Structure 1
């Protein structure tokens, strides 16, 4: 399965819109995601043995998203993604809370 399909499948139980890169719907709470880095994690005999895929999940909401962040993290963890870092932003122009969640997944 592809990385994008894996992410969509992992987050589908949340019952909120999830979209690759951009969302154009009307929901006030939604998730977008993208890959920000793909690189080799382990080489042996001049061959890539393990590759790393680094993804960013962006949670957008006009209200407190604390519980939803926990749910997203649990779903991503269950799908085999490794947490790297999270941070909070606030988009002043749209008055939207924005949680950035970064993960890594390794593939052989």
Structure 2
């Protein structure tokens, strides 16, 4: 069973008032949250993607839930802390549990990069 949570996460991140305030909007007027990749290099911004989506519980020979992992990437020219905290709050409100973090400095583009990883077991719906 493949459960697609990308639209739910995208909507939750893009519609969060704190993230709207912290990220601002791009030249098209959209809050700077993007699945997979951003259309430009302006910062701050969030990108996100699904890492894994695996069946993990069965009833008979049918999957009834999936273990789903997502990665949220926060990009900023100076400090990722406030945006990371707000993104974490949003993901936890969706029932995700943080499974790891990593802080990087991307020397080639001179940007701070915070990686947030999350997991959730999601029951399927018929």
When the two structures are superposed, what TM-score results if normalisation uses the length of structure 1? 0.89
User: How far apart are the structure 1 equivalents of 2:46 and 2:33?
Assistant: 5
Helix, strand or coil for the counterpart of 1:36?
strand
Correspondent of 2:33 among 8, 11, 18: 18
Matched, 1:77 2:92: yes
Q: How does 1:1-108 map to 2 (within 5 A)?
A: 2-12=4-14, 13=16, 14-15=19-20, 16=23, 17-25=32-40, 27-108=42-123
Structure with the higher strand share, 1 or 2: 1
User: How far apart are the structure 2 equivalents of 1:90 and 1:35?
Assistant: 22
User: Shift in Å at residue 44 of structure 1?
Assistant: 3.3
Gaps of 5+ in 2: 24-31
Deviations 1:29-54 (A, max 9, x none): 00001111111222232321211111
Gaps of 5+ in 1: none
User: How far apart are the structure 2 equivalents of 1:26 and 1:86?
Assistant: 22
